[in-house]
């Protein structure tokens, strides 16, 4: 099956119903196998995470040609604080101090590899940073979106690579 979907920050593929969808290319800059991220005080409960992308790469420098995919998913790390052993950081990654530039560059890369009239789904958790700060960093707001989660802190935004046609000259 032709790969029509690009997930540039797949992590543990937690947003996917089919974590091995045949039409998707799963990318992430991390690779971790069965890493224990949490254990209850009594040792009876444990949580593990596996980050196993098809292709290990950085979302700010994607190894794909321009206009390659009709659908791109961008769910970047959203935490600005947390230690290396924090279970949230180990599960989702962490933003660096240069997060506005990193998200802007990642968004541009997603749009570059997106086909004309293609759709970009952007998932953002407002755990540390409001979505408005992210839209300011990337230079545009989604066409539409939806908040979800127990505290309505997750924002799903939809962008489209709209190519303006040049007017016909008479």
Question: How far is C-alpha 108 from the chain's CA centre?
Answer: 13
pLDDT of residue 142: 97
H or E, element range at 145: strand 144-148
**Placement of tokens 């992590």 in the chain:** 11
More confidently predicted of 161 and 78: 161
- What percent helix, strand, coil does the chain show, rounded to 5? 15, 30, 50
**Domains in the chain and their CATH numbers?**
5-160 (3.40.50.150)
* pLDDT tens per residue, range 19-49: 999 999 999 998 888 667 667 778 777 777 8
């Amino acid at each position: 099956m032709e790969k029509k979907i690009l997930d540039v920050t797949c992590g543990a593929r937690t947003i996917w119903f089919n974590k091995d969808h045949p039409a998707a290319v799963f990318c992430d800059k991390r690779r971790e196998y069965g890493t224990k991220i949490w254990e209850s005080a009594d040792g009876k409960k444990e949580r593990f995470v596996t980050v196993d992308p098809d292709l290990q790469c950085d979302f700010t420098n994607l190894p794909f040609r321009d206009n390659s995919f009709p659908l791109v998913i961008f769910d970047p790390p959203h935490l600005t604080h947390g230690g290396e052993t924090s279970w949230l950081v180990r599960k989702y990654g962490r933003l660096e101090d240069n997060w506005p530039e990193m998200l802007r560059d990642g968004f541009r890369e997603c749009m570059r590899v997106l086909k004309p009239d293609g759709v970009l789904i952007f998932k953002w958790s407002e755990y540390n940073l409001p979505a408005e700060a992210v839209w300011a960093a990337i230079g545009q707001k989604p066409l539409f979106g939806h908040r979800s989660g127990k505290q309505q802190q997750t924002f799903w935004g939809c962008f489209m690579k709209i190519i303006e046609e040049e007017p016909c000259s008479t």
